[in-house]
């Protein structure tokens, strides 16, 4: 049995691949390396169970070509883990075609490939961005209306819709994971890496987008991978919605707190300077609070809270920085 990990060279994809290999699975990574770096594969020991194919997932012909290349070398392809997407929300606001191509068309094309090659299990990483701005209201899998305020969120929501259409038609198993902010290594983007990169250029001043009062929920990638795999193997009741919020039980943390932790650990003499606005960029959601009771009911909850996840991730990203991996 082989598994396709689309976007497997990226941050979450690489961590998922490492864990699947550890569990004895045969993995085929399809990735265009727009976010992931080939250097990251140094974190995975040489494995005969891993095949990596450079592939533009927004082009269906390239996906077909990649699968044709590999299908005679494996016994069967039984599942697709789809983690490929544009990860730069602000860039997607400037140019909507980025999210149309890299977030939605990747989903559409992978589902077409799943149908053509009779791949019955599909696992999709969506986002809390599909909900839109609900303020401090606790949001669960049935919250609505879903009014995303970024192109990224809109294309993730459209991707969910096309997944459900495929689930009705030919997929045997579907899981949709709505993620909060995920931290850890190898970092390709995100608030911690952004702060460290800024301090690397200006060690005595950290300029923060927004007023620092933005309150976010953070999940360490180790907890995320454990949760996704656990729920992928968990049987759902008949007619159970296969969407899961994966995140924290407790209140989220402020961006100002994250800034102070990064400064303390990376550049203790730096002054922190904030903007006089409530969000960092167009499409940013300043506050959201996740209801994760559904995942808890099925037996999963994270081992680390947001503060623990952030502190571990800061240490990991600084270590990578010092070793010139990022």
Span 270-302, pLDDT tens digits: 999 998 887 766 667 777 788 999 999 999 999
Burial of 269 (0-12, 13-18, 19+ CB in 10 A): exposed
pLDDT of residue 130: 95
pTM: 0.93
Q: What is the mean pLDDT of the chain?
A: 91
Spell 222-235 as b/e; 16+ CB within 10 A means b. Answer: bbbbbbbbebeeee
What the block records as the tokens of 104 is 């939605």
Examine the pLDDT at 243 and tell me if it is beyond 90.
yes
Contact assessment for residue 190 and residue 154, using Cβ atoms and an 8 Å cutoff: no
pLDDT in tens, 35-82: 766 666 666 766 788 999 999 999 999 999 999 999 888 889 999 999
Average pLDDT on 144-164 reads 95
- Rounded CA separation 320/326 (Å): 6
pLDDT in tens, 69-88: 998 888 899 999 999 998 77
What the block records as the tokens of 49 is 């169970």
Examine the pLDDT at 23 and tell me if it is beyond 80.
yes
Contact assessment for residue 207 and residue 32, using Cβ atoms and an 8 Å cutoff: no
The full length of the chain comes to 326
Which of 35-49, 61-75, 152-166, 303-317 is least confident? 35-49
- Where are any strands of DSSP class E within 180-304? 181-183, 205-208, 215-216, 218-220, 243-245, 253-254, 271-274, 289-290
pLDDT of residue 318: 95
Burial of 265 (0-12, 13-18, 19+ CB in 10 A): middle
Q: Is the dihedral of CA 151, 153, 155, 157 positive or negative?
A: negative
pLDDT of residue 278: 78
List, as one string, the DSSP characters of 2-46: EEEEETTTSHHHHHHHHHHHHTT-EEEEEE--SSS-GGGGGGS--
């Amino acid at each position: 049995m082989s598994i396709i990990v689309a976007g497997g060279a990226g941050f979450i994809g690489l961590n998922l691949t490492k864990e699947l290999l550890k569990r004895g699975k045969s993995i085929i990574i399809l990735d265009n390396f727009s976010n992931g770096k080939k250097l990251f594969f140094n974190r995975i020991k040489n494995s005969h169970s891993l095949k990596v194919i450079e592939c533009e997932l927004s082009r269906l012909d390239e996906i077909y070509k990649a699968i044709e290349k590999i299908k005679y070398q494996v016994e069967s392809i039984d599942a697709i883990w789809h983690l490929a997407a544009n990860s730069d929300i602000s860039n997607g606001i400037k140019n909507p075609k980025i999210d149309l191509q890299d977030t939605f068309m990747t989903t559409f094309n992978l589902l077409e490939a799943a149908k053509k090659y009779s791949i019955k299990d599909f696992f999709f990483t969506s986002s809390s961005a599909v909900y839109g701005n609900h303020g401090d209201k606790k949001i669960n899998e049935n919250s609505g209306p879903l009014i995303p305020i970024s192109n990224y969120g809109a294309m993730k929501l459209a991707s969910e819709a096309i997944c459900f259409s495929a689930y009705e038609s030919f997929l045997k198993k579907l899981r949709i994971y709505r993620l909060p902010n995920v931290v850890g290594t190898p970092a390709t983007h995100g608030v911690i890496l952004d702060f460290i990169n800024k301090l690397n250029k200006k060690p005595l001043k950290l300029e923060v987008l927004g007023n620092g009062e933005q309150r976010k929920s953070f999940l360490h990638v180790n907890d995320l991978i454990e949760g996704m795999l656990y729920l992928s193997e968990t049987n759902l009741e008949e007619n159970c919605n296969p969407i899961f919020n994966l995140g924290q039980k407790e209140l989220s943390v402020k961006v100002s707190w994250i800034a102070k932790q990064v400064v303390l650990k990376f550049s203790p003499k730096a002054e922190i300077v904030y903007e006089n606005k409530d969000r960092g960029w167009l499409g940013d959601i300043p506050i959201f609070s996740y209801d994760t009771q559904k995942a808890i009911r099925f037996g999963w909850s994270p081992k680390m809270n947001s503060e623990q996840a952030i502190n571990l991730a800061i240490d990991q990203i600084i270590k990578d920085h010092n070793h010139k991996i990022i």
